[in-house]
Amino acid sequence: MRDVAIVGAGMTPFGELWESSLRQMFADAALEALGSAGVDHLDALYVGNMSGGQFVGQEHLGPMMAEQIGMSGVPAMRVESACASGGMALRLAYLEVASGQSDLVLAAGVEKMTDGADVTAVLATAADQETEVYHGITFPGLYAMMARAHMEERGTTLEDMAWVSVKNHRHGALNPKAQYRREITVDDVLGSAPVAEPLRLLNCSPVSDGAAAVLVVPLDRAREFTDRPVQVLGSGAATAPMALADRADVTRLEAVRLSAERAYQAAGIRPSDIDVAEVHDCFSIAEILCIEAMGLTDGCNPVQAAESGYTALGGTRPVNTSGGLKSKGHPVGATGVAQAIEIYEQLRGEAGDRQVEGADIGVTQNMGGSGASSVVHVFRRG
């Protein structure tokens, strides 16, 4: 297997992008990524997208998006793994380059969620239809049950979860491409409208449009395209039962733990080596569950990591410096690639006011549904 690097990146702003279509958002991000590396051709294209067919009535995205950027003829494939679609697209691009099959592969993600579809119903297709959705459950409801169980078992409080949102909005206020560039307070979170007890509106990530793309190449060719490549040290993926009722413990994300362990092993690192991380905070309880499963808190109680500053900018291990899904936005198919772009910028020293000083190793974690699929990537400054 060859060593692999990212040498270019492109991303739209995230938010309610009324003037941009699905294909236009993809093209904007893809062409920015290619232009940043000075590349005018590809060997392959992977497009992460959860549900273009239901959100905007468009399937068969591979050839459509290849043509949109003038690459008709290139092998192109849509990748779907619910909210982990973007991360899985990156994993496939990484594996294709590492295997020696291709040299120039674009991993992208795109989602257009605000064009009038029933977003709650579309997202619910990533849950177990027979045992969960048929009985009326939604994803806020599923994560609310996980949160309630965590509160009962670990003593987690509403304030603990609120601090995750507060921290991530503080980071997102520094991100020019974030959907919500404003800080909030614990009182704001606790006083926001109930969605599914105990979760409030400001415990939940928003509905978003957006696209992101990265160019993946062999490490030994990386300097042809940039003087600051970022190496992909390792990738790990895993699954778990979709239905909460089929899990041994709903307060632990087994797929996240397994995917992280596999990525760490492939990269030859330990969690303590990680300087900065982007994890899947679709709800504030999810960040707590993810950093715990990934071993990112080194003895600090994951429940208090946000309030204590451990996972904040300037802390021991900053998490979601982009603002996370909560503040940056969550266009589901694009999220995993956008996470990789945040780490790419951090390791290149390009994160501006969000910069983690001396960042050398970063990690991303992207998951689908209520944690039934998860993919983790480890990166190193090149």
- Which listed residue (150, 171, 280, 330) is catalytic? 330
Closest CA to 296 of 318, 268, 326: 318
In 202-305, which ranges are E strands? 209-218, 230-239, 276-278
Beta strand pairing status for 361-368 and 276-278? parallel
The secondary structure of residue 131, as a DSSP letter, is T
DSSP class of residue 367 equals E
What gap in Å lies between CA 235 and CA 219, rounded to an integer?
Answer: 15
Residue-wise burial string across 84-99, b where 16 or more C-beta atoms lie within 10 A, e elsewhere: bbbbbbbbbbbebbbe
**Residue for token pair 């177990």:** 128
Question: Residue 29: what residue type?
Answer: A
What are the angstrom distances between the C-alpha of 334 and each of 204, 219, 265? 17, 24, 26
CB of 81 within 8 A of CB of 40? Answer: no
Q: Which two tokens stand for residue 68?
A: 């949109």
User: Considering 41, 83, 300, 377, which one is annotated as catalytic?
Assistant: 83
Distance CA 358, CA 351 (A): 12
First to last CA, the chain: 18
> What tokens were used for 135?
């009985």
225: closest CA among 14, 370, 29, 41? Answer: 41
Q: What is the CB neighbour count within 10 angstroms for residue 136?
A: 8
Helix 61-68 / helix 22-37 crossing angle, nearest 10 deg: 60
Can 83 be counted among the known catalytic residues? yes
- Give the active site residues: 83, 330
